Structure 1
């Protein structure tokens, strides 16, 4: 399917799901109703900045507007997960399932080396963070409260507040993390 048709379909679906008029979307994005109408009809090739404005207006990720089809079943193997590192390389995160137009959460695997930590100032988007420790032990500091989690433990917290992942132990920690974005 042509990318403009994909964006068109996703924009239509988002507007239906949120009951948002072209006028309201125009106000939220700063784009004219005529431009939005052309995009929704698939008669326009929107720029990256235009797609970002639309995504932000709906509170979805950029890629949510570009996803070509809904998947009814999906298997992800660990070797398919691309891990990114923080500056010192001791914290790695791999996105297993990204958010999209049909999924209001993201699922990650976090790997934290022994005697290391990773600080997150908080997410800009309203979110809840859910953790499940698969292997090892970690400490999570949410604002000023510290929680110790061992293999099999879970917790959740407000993802918009400052939080710190710590591994003061001698073993690598592996944690599944889900960021849930609610029905925004």
Structure 2
């Protein structure tokens, strides 16, 4: 499936500048590749991704899928969120390392339905992660991270369907959940209103 072209999208009332996020991913990818002395062709071979896609991502002309980012981060030996972290990390020189300011949240727009993830954790290399997940109407999670650990969350607004294994539950504002993250799962917004969740992960693979 071809990568999506960058474009502005609307989630709720806010316009999300996907093009800016895409450029940031491309810049970080180019820096991480250069730090490892890899050519585009060498990275493509290691990641199992075409050189053309990598070139488009680095130029900011393509919004990579989660699956593509997973392959690239594995080939580079980095954390998934390092593609989105600005230089200097979460905290400024004035901030304590346990703080992440609202303006410094890495964000990624995932899949054809444009699910939005915003990292809230002050650090991206610890075993505990938490984030905001925003699902537009009709939004569904794709390429979810499966691995050893736990996942949980809280529905802040709207309603979502959460499927874990063979069970599906309809969750509304104020409901919460928790499950083992190695169980196949996905979330979907079947309504005509945006839904927002606080999503928490306890993971053993800090590359995720």
TM normalised by structure 2 equals 0.50
- Alignment partners' CA distance in 1, 2:106 and 2:187: 20
Distance 1:126 1:173, change over 3 A: same
Instruction: Render the CA deviation track for 1:19-75: whole Å, top value 9, x for unaligned.
Output: xxxxxxxxxxxxxxxxxxxxxxxxxxx9699xx99xx8xxx9587xx98x9946414
Mapping of residues 35-74 of structure 1, within 5 Å: 61=79, 71=96, 73-74=98-99
Match of 2:133 among 90, 97, 110: 110
Q: Which residue of 2 aligns with 1:140?
A: 162
> Which consecutive unaligned segments of at least 5 residues does structure 2 have?
1-34, 39-72, 83-87
Q: Which residue of 1 aligns with 2:116?
A: 92
Q: Which residue of 2 aligns with 1:22?
A: none
Q: Which residue of 2 aligns with 1:164?
A: 186
**CA RMSD in angstroms, aligned pairs only:** 3.5
Q: Is the 8 A contact 1:109 1:177 kept in 2?
A: yes
Q: How many residues align?
A: 127
Q: Which residue of 1 aligns with 2:148?
A: 126
Q: Which residue of 2 aligns with 1:26?
A: none
> Which consecutive unaligned segments of at least 5 residues does structure 1 have?
1-45
Distance 1:129 1:47, change over 3 A: same
Q: Is the 8 A contact 2:100 2:120 kept in 1?
A: no
Structure of greater Rg: 1
Distance 1:76 1:48, change over 3 A: farther
